[in-house]
Amino acid sequence: MAEKMTAERAFELTSGQGFHCSQVVVMHGCEVLGMDKDLLLKVSGGFGGGCFHGDICGAVTGALMMLGAVYGYNQPGQKEQNAILVGKIREFEKRFEEKYGALTCTALLGGYNISIPEQAKIIMEQGLNKNCPAMIAGACDILDDMLAEK
């Protein structure tokens, strides 16, 4: 059984151990699903900070990768499976946005873009990223609910 992701654990994994938000959610998803996490940690590393330019939150993309691992497909022409996957992605995004008000890092960080040095400085000085561990934990909670439905 996977350990519940908490904001404290997410903070330790990001600030203490240097993982990106996307990697923390993928790590959690791999634990829940009993999957080997090494390759997925590498793959998900490029999605932190909204792909390092403030786009879709890495906690969201990490969860979407895990939904893809469960509901995705790997053969051409699997239209029904694709429809299921798209539905799961939309459900996750809707639930996350309802809870946190946005899907992008820039919006979640008060309109500041982490990839612009001057704005990143404001984010850090004002502690606008202090809610990131809670959002990571929240993404894991939504993912847990959705994976339990499988």
Classify residue 137: in a domain, yes or no.
yes
3/129 Cα distance (integer angstroms) = 24
Classify residue 123: in a domain, yes or no.
yes
Classify residue 28: in a domain, yes or no.
yes
Structural domain containing residue 11: 7-148
Classify residue 2: in a domain, yes or no.
no
Checking if the pLDDT of 53 tops 90, the result is: no
Give me the number of domains the chain comprises: 1
Predicted local distance difference test score (pLDDT) of residue 1: 62
82/90 Cα distance (integer angstroms) = 12
- Report CA torsion sign: 4, 68, 40, 54: negative
Checking if the pLDDT of 52 tops 90, the result is: no
What average pLDDT does the segment 60-75 reach? 96
Q: How confident is the model at residue 96 (pLDDT cuts 50, 70, 90)?
A: very high
pTM: 0.95
Give 19-42 pLDDT, tens digit per residue.
999 999 999 999 999 999 999 999
What average pLDDT does the segment 115-141 reach? 96
Residue 54's alpha-carbon distances to 2, 33, 51, 84, 150, in angstroms, are 30, 29, 7, 28, 31
Residue 91: how many CB atoms within 10 A of its CB? 15
Classify residue 107: in a domain, yes or no.
yes
Checking if the pLDDT of 149 tops 90, the result is: no
Classify residue 1: in a domain, yes or no.
no
* Token duo for residue 63: 């969860």
